[in-house]
């Protein structure tokens, strides 16, 4: 089943037809990105201009990022092209890694979704001001509104990298390699319950990769640290 909530298109009779006013916004987003604007700046520009967006009603950095990475906008068998293949290639050639650096973001930013509430995962430091300070990723809803609203647990960044490397059959996580893969990634769903850590990676060609483990996050952390030890 195709994604029927696809900005710039409406699904009818087995095909996606272009919504002209939304298509103009998509073209402007790509043009602004090529011109050097950050995802955050583009989202702020759209919100300030009062440009409508489906569902949330507000443009986020992650929304812009998702549009810029989606090569369906260059046309497929069931999608009329909104932008040219050359325009998409120009953006893709910058690689998601370089776009993320320009936006002061990690290569995972905007990609990770929570399986509990569908919000994005955000990057933050845990253990601030202590010797145990480290980077981790946590569902934004859980971080801001508490575990009573969303029970998703935070994941140490090195554990997340290790699990994603495993799902993508990498010997170890490599940000440069992942940044090239990320151009084709629609989202990564994370299920971080107390007794397991699961990852599902969805690509724009319909391919999905699942990585499931019975280990909880603490056990995954120990396994990751063991693999990092020399010799």
Instruction: Give the tens place of pLDDT for each residue, 81-134.
Output: 999 988 888 777 664 444 445 445 677 877 788 888 888 888 887 765 566 678
| Nearest residue to 205 via CA among 184, 181, 188, 179 | 184
More confident residue, 138 or 219: 138
Q: Measure the CA–CA gap between 70 and 63, rounded to whole angstroms.
A: 11
More confident residue, 133 or 137: 137
- Residue 59 CB burial class (10 angstroms; 0-12, 13-18, ≥19): buried
Q: Cα 28 vs. chain centroid, distance in angstroms?
A: 21
Instruction: Give the tens place of pLDDT for each residue, 167-218.
Output: 888 888 888 888 777 766 656 777 766 556 778 887 766 677 876 665 555 5
Is the pTM value of this prediction over 0.85? no
97 HSE (CA, 13 A, CB side): 9
Q: Let me know: does 27 contact 83? Beta carbons within 8 Å.
A: yes
| Nearest residue to 209 via CA among 220, 219, 201 | 201
Domains of the chain are 9-102 (3.90.1750.20), 112-228 (no CATH)
- Looking up tokens 């969805």 gives 202
Mean pLDDT of 143-166: 84
């Amino acid at each position: 089943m195709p994604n029927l909530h696809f900005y710039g298109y409406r699904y009818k009779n087995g095909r996606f037809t272009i919504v002209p006013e939304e298509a103009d916004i998509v073209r402007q987003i790509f043009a602004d990105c090529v011109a050097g604007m950050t995802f955050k700046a583009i989202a702020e520009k759209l919100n300030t201009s009062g440009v409508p967006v489906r569902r949330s009603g507000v443009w986020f950095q992650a929304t812009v990022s998702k549009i810029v990475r989606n090569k369906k906008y260059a046309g497929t068998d069931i999608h009329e092209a909104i932008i040219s293949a050359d325009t998409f290639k120009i953006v893709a050639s910058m690689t998601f890694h370089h776009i993320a650096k320009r936006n002061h973001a990690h290569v995972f930013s905007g990609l990770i979704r929570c399986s509990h509430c569908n919000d994005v995962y955000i990057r933050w430091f845990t253990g601030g001001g202590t010797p145990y300070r480290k980077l981790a990723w946590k569902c934004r809803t859980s971080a801001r509104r508490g575990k009573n609203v969303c029970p998703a647990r935070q994941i140490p960044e090195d554990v997340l990298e290790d699990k994603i490397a495993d799902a993508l059959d990498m010997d170890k996580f490599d940000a440069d390699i992942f940044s090239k893969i990320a151009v084709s990634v629609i989202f990564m769903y994370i299920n971080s319950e107390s007794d397991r850590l699961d990852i599902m990676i969805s690509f724009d060609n319909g391919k999905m990769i699942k990585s499931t483990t019975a280990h909880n996050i603490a056990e995954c952390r120990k396994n990751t640290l063991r693999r990092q030890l020399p010799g």
